[in-house]
């Protein structure tokens, strides 16, 4: 009888310990889920505020008189400098206008912008006679400006706004998934794209699948038109 009682007590203690452990694991899982959700949401808020401030400052610099003489050299940008704005009508409303800055470092991309590649291939600029204007942005967290990149399909417009012009591109091809080491997608003539020779191209890249950085996806577009900037900065029809 005594042995039976002791066995019952031991089983009771084991069951209680297992129950406590289960409750702790459930609590830990909930805490981790809340932390991940909070981290993604809060980094989006912080990045959006930073990008808004930087975008306002860039537009303020554009309000100053510019040297528009034929001999004026093209602007030269260093790491972190603001270049312009990327407009993507296919994105969700709040993410259709994205500040463009030089560089793809974590410090730059974490501020909710599209960063211009400086390596392994230095990006061409929209006003260059030929080349590939290449950019990257986060898909999740820190503004997640390219979260909807998979919405783009052939024929969709993408517009780059600079101080002096609107550069209108049309999507020519997409690459849903490739290795994150596939640097050819941002080459001057991007590998795997529909393009076979030099031209004036645009490449957008981000991580995939959602909430991972295992692979990369790319969208390629080709310049179809340049609209001069008027005094009211009237956007092209693609953005109206």
pLDDT tens string for the chain (240 positions)? 555 655 666 666 666 656 666 665 665 555 454 555 555 667 888 888 989 999 999 999 998 765 555 555 677 888 899 999 999 999 998 889 999 999 999 999 999 999 999 999 999 999 999 999 999 999 999 999 999 999 999 999 999 999 999 999 999 999 999 999 999 999 999 999 999 999 999 999 999 999 899 999 999 999 999 999 999 999 999 998
At 202 the pLDDT is: 98
Measure the CA dihedral 173/178/179/183, to 10°: -10
Q: Cα angle vertex 145, ends 236, 130, to 5°?
A: 55
Which residues does 201 contact at the CB level (< 8 Å), separation at least 6? Answer: 131, 132, 133, 189, 190, 193, 195, 220, 221, 222, 223
Pairing of strands 215-228, 200-208: antiparallel
At 111 the pLDDT is: 94
DSSP 8-class letter at 135: E
At 44 the pLDDT is: 85
Please tell me the pTM assigned to this model: 0.83
Positions marked catalytic: 207
Q: Which CATH number fits domain 47-64+76-239: 3.40.720.10, 2.130.10.10, 1.10.3720.10, 2.40.260.10?
A: 2.40.260.10
At 76 the pLDDT is: 82
């Amino acid at each position: 009888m005594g042995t039976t009682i002791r066995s019952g007590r031991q089983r009771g203690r084991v069951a209680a310990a297992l129950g406590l452990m289960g409750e702790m694991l459930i609590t830990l899982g909930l805490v981790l889920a809340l932390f991940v959700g909070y981290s993604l949401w809060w980094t989006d808020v912080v990045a959006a505020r930073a990008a808004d401030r930087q975008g306002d400052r860039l537009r303020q610099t554009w309000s100053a008189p510019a040297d528009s003489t034929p001999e004026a050299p093209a602007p030269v940008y260093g790491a972190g400098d603001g270049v312009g704005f990327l407009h993507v009508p296919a994105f969700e409303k709040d993410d259709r206008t994205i500040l463009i800055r030089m560089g793809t470092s974590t410090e730059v991309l974490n501020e909710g912008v599209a960063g211009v590649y400086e390596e392994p291939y230095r990006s061409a600029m929209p006003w260059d006679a030929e080349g590939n204007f290449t950019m990257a942005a986060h898909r999740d967290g820190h503004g997640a400006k390219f979260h909807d990149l998979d919405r783009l399909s052939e024929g969709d417009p993408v517009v780059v706004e600079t101080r002096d012009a609107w550069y209108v591109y049309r999507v020519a091809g997409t690459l849903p998934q490739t290795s994150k080491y596939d640097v050819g997608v941002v080459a001057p003539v991007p590998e795997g794209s529909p393009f076979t020779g030099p031209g004036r191209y645009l490449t957008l890249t981000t991580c995939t699948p959602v909430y991972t950085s295992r692979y990369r996806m790319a969208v390629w577009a080709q310049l179809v038109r340049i609209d001069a900037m008027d005094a009211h900065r009237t956007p092209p029809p693609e953005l109206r």
